[in-house]
């Protein structure tokens, strides 16, 4: 049997491979396809084992092998019935004859990265993953983790591993144990400014300044201003979340600020960041000073 595992979700692919290995009563053979030589193919695909009737052969990234991949379609029909061949190809060229032949002969499973529309799926996965590790995670906590971490499954998995060592799991412990991704930090900073919380803005900037690049931060803040303007003019929360690729919860929070600021306030914020961008390009002031000045102006709207 031939199985093709493909897609950009390396976490799900890794899990799928582990399940196949665990279900196999024997020693799996793992091969780096990029380094494979043609002379090895007969033994790999047609050879028998002296120690078991069946073989599990896992070849990763064979499409990176420019000598073998173009001709590999001619080998697929020769794979022994006693061999379970697993091909792991995150981004195969779907135009090649080998991929087209694999679609005909192999069991193909595609694992893709989660997108904003998969938020509920990610939250449910966190609850189930926590159960597998041995602790209970409620829905609000799962929602908070996704909001802080994002939708990358590896990062969500590491978050669960961190929480497994905590005695009490609540909003406070999650915020102290699970680092927010840069986007979340920027969003909270922008939100604090829109709420007029000058002290919080200064406090958050003092922390962010230790790790972030000011030029990148100003760009991210400007993108938040664009998202605010988009939310104000959008007719549907679901549409704007999908179109901009942002978390629906973030859209909801932006809408709360949008109601207070209105179109006029959003326009002022965009003008503030446009001025800061010009000042930055002309080196009129220290970039951190420009950021703080811009946020404090927003806090005064």
Domain end (from 110, 130, 161):
110
Tokens encoding 195: 């709420």
Within 13 Å and on the Cβ side, how many CA atoms surround 233? Answer: 10
pLDDT tens figures, 157-202: 999 999 999 999 999 999 889 987 777 788 889 988 999 999 989 9
How many domains does the chain divide into?
A: 3
Query: Do 172 and 224 lie in a common domain?
Result: no
SS3 assignment, position 83: strand
Q: Whose structure tokens read 């001709």?
A: 71
Nearest-angstrom CA–CA distance, 267 and 160? 41
Query: Do 261 and 189 lie in a common domain?
Result: yes
Query: Do 189 and 286 lie in a common domain?
Result: yes
- Predicted pLDDT of residue 196: 92
Nearest-angstrom CA–CA distance, 106 and 128? 30
pTM: 0.69
Quick check: 140 pLDDT over 90? yes
Element (H, E) at 132: helix 119-133
Query: Do 90 and 162 lie in a common domain?
Result: no
SS3 assignment, position 3: strand
Query: Do 207 and 291 lie in a common domain?
Result: yes
In the structure, what pLDDT confidence band is assigned to residue 207 with cuts at 50, 70 and 90? confident
Element (H, E) at 89: strand 83-89
* 224 close to 270: Cβ distance less than 8 angstroms: no
- Span 12-38, mean pLDDT? 94
Tokens encoding 112: 């893709």
Question: Which domain range does residue 135 map to?
Answer: 116-177
- Predicted pLDDT of residue 233: 79
* 125 close to 152: Cβ distance less than 8 angstroms: no
Tokens encoding 264: 């006029």
Instruction: Give the least confident one: 82-96, 97-111, 207-221.
Output: 207-221
Query: Do 152 and 230 lie in a common domain?
Result: no
Domain end (from 128, 147, 177):
177
In the structure, what pLDDT confidence band is assigned to residue 237 with cuts at 50, 70 and 90? low
Strand partners, 109: 5
In the structure, what pLDDT confidence band is assigned to residue 53 with cuts at 50, 70 and 90? confident
In the structure, what pLDDT confidence band is assigned to residue 115 with cuts at 50, 70 and 90? confident
Domain end (from 91, 110, 129):
110
Query: Do 238 and 260 lie in a common domain?
Result: yes
| Length of the chain as a residue count | 301
Radius of gyration of the chain (CA): 26
pLDDT tens figures, 69-93: 999 999 999 999 899 999 999 999 9
- Predicted pLDDT of residue 239: 67
Strand partners, 85: 2, 57
Nearest-angstrom CA–CA distance, 287 and 276? 9
Query: Do 173 and 186 lie in a common domain?
Result: no
Query: Do 31 and 132 lie in a common domain?
Result: no
CA nearest neighbour of 225 among 269, 181, 281: 269
Query: Do 294 and 187 lie in a common domain?
Result: yes
> Going edge to edge, which strands form the sheet with 83-89?
29-32, 55-60, 83-89, 2-6, 107-110
Query: Do 154 and 201 lie in a common domain?
Result: no
Domain at 240, CATH number: 1.20.272.10
Query: Do 106 and 120 lie in a common domain?
Result: no
Domain at 37, CATH number: 3.40.50.300
- Residue 50, judged by CB atoms within 10 A of its CB (0-12, 13-18, 19+), counts as exposed
């Amino acid at each position: 049997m031939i199985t093709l595992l493909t897609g950009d979700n390396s976490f799900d692919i890794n899990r799928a491979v582990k399940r196949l290995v665990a279900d196999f009563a024997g020693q799996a053979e793992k091969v780096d396809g990029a380094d494979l030589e043609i002379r090895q193919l007969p033994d790999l695909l047609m050879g028998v084992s002296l120690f078991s009737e069946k073989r599990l052969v896992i070849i990763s990234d064979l499409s990176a092998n420019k000598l073998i991949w173009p001709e590999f379609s001619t080998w697929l029909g020769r794979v022994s019935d006693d061999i379970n061949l697993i091909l792991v190809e995150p981004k195969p060229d779907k135009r090649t004859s080998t991929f087209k032949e694999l679609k005909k002969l192999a069991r193909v499973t595609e694992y893709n990265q989660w997108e904003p529309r998969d938020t509920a799926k990610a939250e449910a996965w966190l609850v189930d993953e926590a159960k597998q590790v041995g602790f209970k995670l409620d829905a609000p906590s799962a929602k908070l983790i996704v909001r802080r971490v994002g939708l990358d499954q590896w990062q969500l998995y590491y978050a669960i591993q961190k929480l497994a060592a905590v005695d009490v799991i609540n909003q406070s412990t999650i915020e102290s144990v699970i680092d927010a991704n840069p986007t979340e930090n920027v969003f909270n900073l922008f939100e604090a400014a829109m709420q007029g919380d000058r002290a919080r803005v200064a406090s958050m900037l003092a922390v962010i300044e230790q790790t972030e690049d000011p030029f990148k931060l100003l760009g991210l803040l400007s993108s938040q201003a664009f998202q605010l303007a988009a939310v104000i003019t959008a007719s549907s929360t679901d549409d704007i979340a999908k179109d901009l690729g942002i978390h629906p919860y973030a859209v909801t929070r932006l809408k709360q600020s949008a109601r207070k600021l209105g179109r006029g306030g959003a326009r002022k914020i965009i003008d503030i960041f446009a001025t800061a961008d010009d000042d930055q390009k002309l080196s009129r002031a220290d970039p951190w000073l420009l950021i703080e000045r811009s946020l404090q102006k927003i806090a005064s709207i």
